Each structure stands twice: as C-alpha cells, then as structure tokens.
A and B are shown apart, each in its own frame.
Chain A
Amino acid sequence: MLVPDLFLAMMKEEWRIHSTVFWGFWFALFPVMIVVFAFFGSLTLPFFSDAVPYTVAALLAQIFFLLAGAMVGSFGLMGREFMNRRFGQASLIAYVSRSLPISERRIFATFLMKDTIYYILLYVLPFTVGFAAATPFISIDPGYIILAFASLALAFLIGLSAVCFLSTLYAHSVRLLAATLVVLALALFHAGTVVFPPYSFFLDPGLEPLALSLLFILIPAAISVLFVTVDYPDQVKRFKNSLDSLAERLSPLGSEHFIAKDALDLLRSEGGAGKVVFSFLLPVGLIWLCLQILIQFVPGIDPLMIFAVLLGVISSTIYNWLTEFDSFSSYAFLPVEVSGMIDAKLKSYGILSLLPVAVLVFAAAATGGAAAPFIPALAVLISVSAYTLAVTVYLTGLHPNVMLYHAGVFARYVLATSPVLLLIIFASIFDPLYALGSLLLVPAAAFLLSRSRRGWQTWEISGY
C-alpha cells in the first residue's frame, strides 16, 4: 500500500468512524456549528474592543486552537495507551503494520498527516469561514482572513505535535517525560517573555516567525515518528486482586465496587497519569498563562476568579474520563440500573474533584495568597464544576465522549453553560464577592442531576 492510498484510506476511516459513532448527519453539522459560533463571536468583537483589543482576541483564539491541537493529540494519544488504542482492535487501518509490509513509522507519519488535514478541515477552516463571513460587518481588513487561517492552523499543529512528542517520550519512559518537562519549564523561565511564534506571525507576517512556527511543529513531529514505539496488546498484564481492598476502603460511600473499578480503570489504562498531564494539567496551565497575559490588557478582572470559572468547566471533563471505559451495555445483563451507574460515576467524580481544588489552592498561592478572593473563587469552582457536570450528565447520560460531538447536543450544552459562565465572570469584575451568587448553581445542578437520573433510566441498548 502506497502512502497516498494509506492516507486516503485513513481519512475515509476517520470520517466513517466519526459519522458512524456520532450520528452521521449530526456530525456533519459540527463544522457548520463552528462556522455559526465563529460568525456570531466575531460580530461581538467591536462591543468588547475597549476591554479586549483585537490583538488580544487573536491571541486568545490562538491559545484556544493550541489547546484544540493538544486535545486532538491527546485524544487517545497517551503513550502506550494511544498506541494500543490506535494500533489495537479499535483502529483498523493503523493495525496493518502487523499483517502487511508497512513500517510503523510510515503508518504513524501518515496518521499524523491525516490528523493534520482532517482536523484543520474540521476545526480551523470552519472557524476561519465564520470569521471571514463576519469581517464585512466589523470593519476588519479581509486580508486578515488568510492570516487568521494560517496562524490558527500553525497554533493548532504546534499543540498537536507537542502532545505527540510528549506522548512518545512517555511511551519510552515516564522519567524521560518528567525530565523533559522540567527542562522545558526551566528554559521558558530563563527565556523570560516568549512570544508565541504563530501569534508573532499574525502580528507581523514574515519569514522568521513562520519558520520558527514550522520548526516547533516539524521537530517534535519528526522525533515522534522516528522514535515511535508500539506496544501491541499481546503483552499480557497481570495484577493481584486490588478491587476488594479498594472497595472495602470506599464502602462508606456506597457503590464502592463501581468506584473501585473506576479507580482501577484510570490507574491501569496507562493513560491514567498521562490523562492528568495532557487532558487536565496542560490545558489548565496554558489557561493560567493566558490569564496572566490577559490581565495586562483588561484591568479590573481577577485572574483567580476567571481561572476558577474555566477550571470548573475543565473539571467537568473528568466525567468523560470516568465514562470512557464503560458502556452501560456492559452491565445491562446484570441487576444494575442506569441511575445507579450515574450515581456511582458522580461519587467517583466527587473524589477526583479534589484535584482541581488542589490546583486552585496552588494558583491562589501563586498569586500571593490573597485570601479575600479565594473563598469566592472556591465557591465558583465548586458551583461551575457541579453545574457543567450536571448539564453534561443531563444531555449525555453515561456517554459524554460520544454525544458531545452530536451538533445538536453540543449546541444545547453551550447554550446552557456559556451565558451562566459569562454572568459569573462579569459579576466578579464588579466585585469578587458577587461571584458567591454562583452557589445558586448548586441547587440547579442538583435539580438537573435528579432529572438526568430519571430521564436516562429508560436508556436501552440500541441495535438488534
């Protein structure tokens, strides 16, 4: 099989997997929805231009696409776990290296090319189209359209290739990954102010920032391809029975065997530690950096408060980790109810929520430990986390990893959460104490969760 054939086959496979799993027509609407959001989002830019200049909005968009690239990269791409999933039973074409004379490097390189083209078409292009459609109404030079597309694509690819690079290190050695992260952090610290190359390219298009951006993409990607390791699933793993001892310790919570199973899923899936780094700490760290930039332009905002809001939203994605390895159909033949499973997942979520709380404490300490905004920020974190989780459960039940890609469901999620989040942010700008009002979201979350338990109780296996 030649690389172009392999590439086309992978593109078809990716589309078919998505459109099959994510309701075909509704998945096709996902890019359309991005166009719509980008269009209306761009239309609002002039209203906020005093507070958020266009250049800052552009930087925020770049960071958003950097994160999107990192998330695409980390979606199943967590060291050995990624390789197992991508090259294991779940991935058909990538598995051909076992039966056909194609090297793993060639497959992985093609796979990266496929991800590049596929996700630029799925995310970056629709966003640019939405922005382009709005430019006549907001007096922005149409020349920025091409520039926006190019710089956003570069930001996205830097995120993608950085996560591929880090996950390749992780697949070889966790110590190597940790050492590399420390070196990178020290290098950033010593370098002082670093301008993100795609952003430099956007502000001042030239060969130097373009070349620098390409280096940031190509070098990590090349290392990932050269040192790719594939841990095929025929390596048998053995463990002593840990379920019982864990369940005994968790027994005061009830549903202890389910919570213990969640814990073992997270610990043994090898994405466990990787997930925390790639899906949680990395985006959270980037958001914190982004906020440090933002406060220079928008006086009056409390970075800890905004951080608490965003941390609450990201925390709710912990629920996605918890449901990733479970399908209710795996329990449907046992005396288990959907509502019972949801309750168990919520308990596991409650335990894992200590992680974002710890992150907030750390962030508060980093800001100098100002105690006054910490309590409202903690209230915001808990409320936003509970509310966005409740919306997720209400809309997707036990299947957030699949159903949030349903354009209709995602639109409802955004409509249900974004006005509330904006309200909290604006309230906190007037006075951080107003953010305590976010605690009203807790009863709303409780109401939604109780509706979810009833609503999803009637879920049944599809297909025949």
Chain B
Amino acid sequence: MHQMIEAETLTKQYGTVTAVDGISLSIVRGELFGLLGPNGSGKTTMIRMLTGQVRPTSGSARVMGLDVVEDPIRVRELVGIIPEQETPPSFLTAEEYLHFVARIRGLDRIDARCDHWFDLLEFQDKRDVLCKDLSRGTRQKLMFAQAFLHEPCLVLIDEPLINLDPIMQRKVKDFLRGYTSKGGTVFLSTHILDIAEEICDRIGIIHNGRLLHAGRVDDLTGSGRHLEPFFLDLVRGDVGA
C-alpha cells in the first residue's frame, strides 16, 4: 500500500489551547478518508499542518513522502487544497482566478483546463463575473476547480459541500468517488455525518484535538450501526470523561 499521508503524534498548540493533540494516522492511495468532528475540534488545523500552512508544535507528518515542515511548498505544489474559510480574490473574475492559480502552478493548456471545470461544475455563465459578486455556492465551485486544476493525486478538502445545492452536492460526491476509484486520494474534513457515511472509505473522529476513533465505515455499518449515534456517543462520552 502506498502511503499518501503519514502523521505521527501531530500536535499544535496556540498559547494554552491545544488545537490538535498527538494525532497519528495514515492514509493510503485511492482512499477517501473523512475526518469528522464538531466545530472547533481541530479539523482545519489538522489540514493546515498536513499542507505546511502551519507548523506543528510537535510530532511530524509526511505527505506523498515529503516532510511537511521541511518542504511545505513542494507539498502544496503536489496536492490540491480546498480551504473552508478562504474565498477567491474579490476583484478577479472567476476565469481570471483560475488562470491566476494556473500561472502560480506553472501549468500549460490553461484555457482547456479551465473550460473543463467550468463545464463540469456548470458555471460557464459566471466565468466573467467578479469573485466578490459570486454566490457562496459558485465560490465553492471555483475553489473546488482551483484545487483540481493541476490534476493532483491527493486533495485535502475542508467542508466540501457546505455551500452547494443538493444537485451539485450529488455531482461532487460522485466526482470524488470516481476520482478515488481512479487512484486519487481524498482527505476531507466535515461535521456533516451523512456525507462521510455515504462516500468515505474510512473515518476518523476528532474531538478537542484528540483522535477518538479511526476505522472503516463498512465495519461500522456492517455491524448494523449508523454513524450519527456512534459519533454522538463517542463525543458525548468524551465530554463526560
């Protein structure tokens, strides 16, 4: 099995707050891994550490064989990232933003790549609209497109479907399943449990920065359990502990 992500006791502290507390996990090629947790549980910090956007306080992580602290730029060259909170620049149009990202990544066939994503995510009619004037859903599509523009082998997505309508959610879910079936790897974080139960191969449950559980979704559903009660029991149990 080819390891795409390997984290060893990864920890991040902000002052006295421990956002991520000694998490170890590994994700292999072709896997769709979902990191689940309530708001503020450390999901976003985990993604930022795995992509070299923030440095771990302790522990280590390798992404596609690269140390995220030693080689963060190379990591971000190789992977695609869809952050939850960032939006595209206000005064570029949707098309200009994709061209901007393509130029940063030094890509060729920029027009063809952009056309593909405008068609796939059905927002051709918005390509000349300033990003500040786009709806949240269209901005999310744009952020989705920029992450896949360079055809990466690994994509890390923070809350993938939160602003999309049900039709587009379906389309994105199908796309992600298709992407992993062709060898792509997805690490997504979400607090929407239905998404994880439907599309993830494996999940991790994080609460207060600690990984409470990691396992296959099949194992859970095969034993007749659903993710929601399992998640709630685990998190409430952690609160009570």
Contact = CB atoms under 8 A, between A and B. Distances in A.
A464 B19 contact: yes
Chain B, interface SS category: mixed
A335 B73 contact: yes
A257 interface: yes
Interface stretch (B42-50, B194-202, B227-235): B42-50
Contacts of B45: 464
Contact of B128 (A238, A256, A462): A238
B92 A264 contact: yes
B241 interface: no
B103 interface: yes
A285 B126 CA distance: 42
Interface residues of A, number: 37
Interface string B44-73: 110010010111000000000000000001
A24 interface: no
A236 B89 contact: no
A326 B51 contact: no
Q: How big is chain B's contact interface, by range?
A: 35 or more
A240 B133 CA distance: 15
A268 B53 CA distance: 30
Interface in A322-340: 325-326, 329-337
Interface stretch (B27-35, B93-101, B115-123, B159-167): B93-101
A239 B77 contact: no
B53 A461 contact: yes
Nearest to A243: B96
B177 interface: no
B53 A241 contact: no
Contact of B133 (A237, A330, A337, A462): A237
Contacts of B83: 332-333
B130 A460 contact: no
Contacts of A247: 103
A243 B86 contact: no
A204 interface: no
A244 interface: yes
B105 interface: yes
Contacts of A234: 133
A261 interface: yes
Contacts of A233: 132-133
A241 B74 CA distance: 29
A269 interface: yes
Nearest to B128: A238
B95 to A, nearest CB: 5
B217 interface: no
Contacts of B40: 464
B239 interface: no
Nearest to B12: A464
A253 to B, nearest CB: 14
B191 interface: no
A334 B101 contact: yes
Interface string B206-236: 0000000000000000000000000000000
16 contacts: A236-B133, A237-B133, A241-B95, A242-B96, A243-B99, A257-B104, A264-B92, A269-B90, A326-B89, A332-B53, A333-B76, A333-B81, A333-B82, A335-B73, A462-B14, A464-B17
Q: Which 10 interchain pairs have the tightest Cβ spacing?
A: A333-B81, A464-B19, A243-B96, A257-B103, A335-B77, A335-B76, A268-B91, A238-B128, A236-B133, A464-B45
Interface of A: 233-244, 247, 256-257, 261, 264-265, 268-269, 325-326, 329-337, 458, 460-464
